[in-house]
Structure 1
Amino acid sequence: MPVEGTWDLNVRTPIGTMEAVLDLHVQEGTLYGTAMGAGEAVELRDMALDGDRLTWMQSITTPLRLNLAFDVTVDGDSMTGTSKAGRLPSSKVTGRRRQA
């Protein structure tokens, strides 16, 4: 799958830029992922890849307890898009795949 790998992610939120590392991999034809950042590791849920559009959900507890919905476009080794937490404004997301 074209999204597999380790990604350095930046999320520009109203309280500052948050950094995370995504690990995306395929197992038996299904896409799985983990996000690590702010001292916690969380599993990505409801992952879907439609062409170059990747979406997923995740819950975090730091700095606030939030449920996040991500919607990004993957172009080679970069991704751009948004993250949304409930009624809060969308946050800009950028990512870069680490080279093996």
Structure 2
Amino acid sequence: MAGLDGEWDCVTKSPLGDQKSVLTVKTAPDGTWTGDNAGALGALAVLDGKYDGNTLTWKMDMKVPLPMTLECTATIDGDTLTGGVTAGAFGTSPMSGTRKA
């Protein structure tokens, strides 16, 4: 879905402080999407990316500072992204972002 595609400047308010990243979204007509989330600790590939309307869901395998699978969701409204990143026992950290020009 073209309105979801692009690069998003994001901030996740994690237990380790604000984590800035760039989320890249490339949708396919079948309701799936691919991309990555690149930040100071490196880039994490999007796994099992799906979208329904303007809501994205995906997973990422984090290796540092702790190995774990992150479960993510985000809703896109125009040039604004809001959502959350769930990191196991650490709970869900809010994520927000804006579309890069």
Normalised to the residue count of structure 2, the TM-score between the two structures is: 0.86
Range that drifts further, 24-33 or 79-88: 24-33
Aligned to 2:6: 5
Report the secondary structure of 1:87's partner residue.
helix
What are structure 2's unaligned runs of at least 5 residues? none
Q: Which amino acid in 1 is paired with 2:35? A: G
CA distance in 1, matches of 2:95, 2:79: 14
**What does residue 61 of structure 2 align with?**
59
Q: Within the alignment, does 1:25 sit opposite 2:50 as a pair?
A: no
Which amino acid in 2 is paired with 1:72? Answer: A
How far residue 17 of structure 1 moved from its aligned partner, in angstroms, is: 0.6
Aligned letter for 2:7?
Answer: T
Distance apart, 1:61 and its partner CA: 2.1
Identity of aligned residues (%): 33
Q: How many residues align?
A: 99
Q: Which runs of 4 or more aligned residues in structure 1 lie more than 3 Å from their structure 2 counterparts after TM superposition? A: 26-30
Aligned CA-pair RMSD: 1.6
Q: After the TM superposition, which residues 1-100 of structure 1 pair with which residues of structure 2 at under 5 Å, given as runs?
A: 1=1, 2-26=3-27, 30-99=32-101
Matches of 1:80 and 1:49, distance apart in 2: 14
Q: 1:79 to 1:62 in 2, by over 3 A?
A: same
Work out whether residues 38 and 62 of structure 1, in 8 Å CA contact, stay in contact via their aligned partners in 2.
Answer: no
> Which amino acid in structure 2 is aligned with residue 4 of structure 1?
D
Structure 1: state its 5+ residue gaps: none
Amino acid at match of 1:63: P
- Cα–Cα, structure 1 residues 3 and 14, in superposed 2: closer, same or farther, change >3 Å? same
